[in-house]
A and B are shown apart, each in its own frame.
Chain A
Amino acid sequence: MKAKIADRIATVVFYIIALLLVLLLAGLLGYILLKGLSHISWHFITSPPESFQAGGGIGPQLFNSLYLLVLTMLISVPLSLGAGIYMAEYAKKNIWTNILRTVIEVLSSLPSIVVGLFGFLFFVISMGWGFSILSGALALTLFNLPLMVRVVEDSIRGVPSSQREAGLALGVSKWETIKHVLLPAALPGIITGIILASGRVFGEAAALIYTAGMSSPNLDFTNWNPFSPTSPLNPLRPAETLAVHIWKVNGEAVIPDVNAVSSGASAVLVLFILVFNVSARWIGKRIYRRMTSS
């Protein structure tokens, strides 16, 4: 009888905790979207910000965020795949591997402002790349890499070892087995991890303030020559992202519609991250179905 009551209490407590979490998220999202959605218009998401007047937009910032995300992923996906495969399949169980794993864990828990300051000292100053998309992308890679390595390693480890044996028993080499058996089977997990990491990168501000900078030059969206200083693609130009813009507008902007701009920008940011999260699940499932042809 006592066990039954204890069981019921536990059940109720867990339900309440879950409900609290859902309410918290719904409240937060609701508040941001409710306040911001009314300010979002085509004009708002495409036009450049104003310095002194009302009515500015977030066009370049939105573009910068997306461009920086793409560049960061271009650098960090191959690196994390390589490192993850190494950790899952090749690393021997010894003290060096344990040290390596600890290092990756510590790296993943570094505060992003510290990563940003390191980026500032190393990429911006020592390497002489200035406040630029390149410096920003490399700082974000540092910030992002440990988590992605972990995701890749865990996804590959999650593939049953019987699959590995099946490949090897057919006289297929280890690398071919990894490439054609383990990676396809791990792909849904890896893709989901990459998209979730994208959400984190997209919303990151602290690591970018001192690396990608807090300004954006006048961009000419008809100029796609990556070497031209007014081209949006130029990796050596400064690039204020959406998250940094929200931070800056609230801190130092003198425009009269500060609240409108920051609410609108926050809503856009949150919407994008929501899309990343939802699509992560959807794409992961779809890829798994295609891979297994079920």
Chain B
Amino acid sequence: MATTTLMKENKASSNVRSGVMTMTVPDSSSENQLKSENVVLKTNSLRVFYGNHLAIKNVSASFMENRVTALIGPSGCGKSTYLRSLNRMNDEIPGCRIEGEILYRGIDLNHPQANVFDIRKRIGMVFQRPNPFAKSIFENVAFGPKHHGVKNKQLLEEIVEKSLRKAALWDEVKDRLHRSALALSGGQQQRLCIARALAMEPDVLLLDEPASALDPVSTGKVEELIEELKKDYTVIIVTHNMQQAARISDYTAFFYMGELVEFGETTELFTNPKKKQTEDYITGNFG
């Protein structure tokens, strides 16, 4: 049963990609007025509970194909919780419950028949602190494909090289692929984690403050990388750093106390915020 749904999903998404199926674009009456582009990921009245605590309150938002969307807001505003619900990583937290809808290319992620492994394969994630496995650089990148059935050694080598190139790490590590990933610098480790996620050929990349544990030079490299990645992927990034959001994102969503306060094009939101809270936050009056 699970395999048939998986196949259906595969077909559905490839249809979308080749343009056979056209996606509905959010109409102008919705509160987030976005240009007509392909919506990849969408939440409808999403509510996330930790036990009895309502952490995310009725958040509806749409994420556009090949665009970078930044989620900003003060600590504890729920932006990470929101991000983690987008590939069901919140499943792992005991007592976490979800209401509302998350649609990935029209597929309900929380449908009982949805295949969580397949979802996470398509919607990759990179965490705040670099978390490479205690394995070699090669094994780190090859880990995902290997466990999703790629056995051919040559193919694995190709995937590893391609992913490391995309993550702008290949030139730095090509001579020591079989050395420990833990010997890399923090910035390199984070790019390795991005390469590891890219090796799965995901459609969407969720980045949870990927540069907050890095020095400025490494941060710059990761930011450049994100600009590059949006050609092939839809990127959603949580960041504390508003300059970063302004530099790299096309759209910005401002979260406050579990609510999506404002969502729009980054230039618009930063130069001409519509809500008082947004203005206060981006001008540094609180948070």
Cβ-based interface call for B150 (8 A): no
Given contacts A92-B94, A294-B180, contact A169 B120 (CB under 8 A): yes
Please tell me if A291 contacts chain B, counting CB pairs below 8 Å: yes
**Given contacts A169-B120, A170-B120, A294-B182, A162 and B131 within 8 Å (CB-CB):** yes
B183 at the interface (CB under 8 A from A): yes
* Closest Cβ–Cβ distance, residue B196 to chain A (whole Å): 7
Q: Contacts of A165 on B, CB cut-off 8 Å?
A: 89, 92, 127, 131
Q: Which residue of A lies closest to B178 (CB)?
A: A293
Q: State whether A160 and B144 are in contact (beta carbons under 8 Å apart), knowing that A169-B197, A171-B120 are contacts in the complex.
A: no
Do B135 and A184 touch across chains, with their CB atoms under 8 A apart? yes
Bound together, the chains give a CA A172 to CA B119 distance in angstroms of 11
Q: Interface size of A by Cβ–Cβ distance < 8 Å?
A: 24
For residues 197 through 223 of chain B, which have their beta carbon under 8 Å from a beta carbon of chain A? 197, 200
Q: Assess whether B179 is interfacial by the CB under 8 Å rule.
A: yes
With a cutoff of 8 Å between Cβ atoms, the chain B residues found around residue A185 in the complex are 133-134
Q: Which of A71-122 contact B (CB under 8 A)?
A: 92-93
The answer, yes or no, to whether B118 is at the interface (CB within 8 Å) is yes
Given contacts A92-B94, A166-B127, A171-B148, contact A294 B133 (CB under 8 A): no
Q: Does B53 make an interface contact (CB < 8 A)?
A: no
Q: Mark B79-92, 1 if CB is under 8 A from A, else 0.
A: 00000000101001
Q: How many A-B residue pairs have CB under 8 A?
A: 80
Binary per-residue interface labels of chain B (110-145) against chain A in the complex, 1 for a CB within 8 Å, 0 otherwise: 000000111111001101010111111001000110
With A and B bound together, what is the CA distance between A291 and B140 in angstroms? 12
* Nearest A-chain residue to B124, judged by Cβ: A169
- How many residues in B have their beta carbons less than 8 Å from beta carbons of A? 34
Q: Mark A129-166, 1 if CB is under 8 A from B, else 0.
A: 00000000000000000000000000000001011111
Please give the distance in Å from B185's CB to the nearest CB on chain A. Answer: 14
Whether the Cβ atoms of B143 and A170 lie closer than 8 Å is: yes
- B193 contacts partner chain A, Cβ-Cβ < 8 Å: yes
Q: Is A286 an interface residue (CB 8 A)?
A: no
**Contact between chains at A163 and B133 (CB < 8 Å):** yes
Known: A166-B133, A181-B133. A292 touches B182 (CB 8 A): yes
Residue positions of A touching B, CB distance < 8 A: 92-93, 160, 162-173, 176, 180-181, 184-185, 291-294
10 nearest CB pairs, A to B: A171-B121, A171-B120, A162-B131, A294-B180, A170-B144, A169-B125, A293-B136, A292-B134, A171-B117, A292-B180
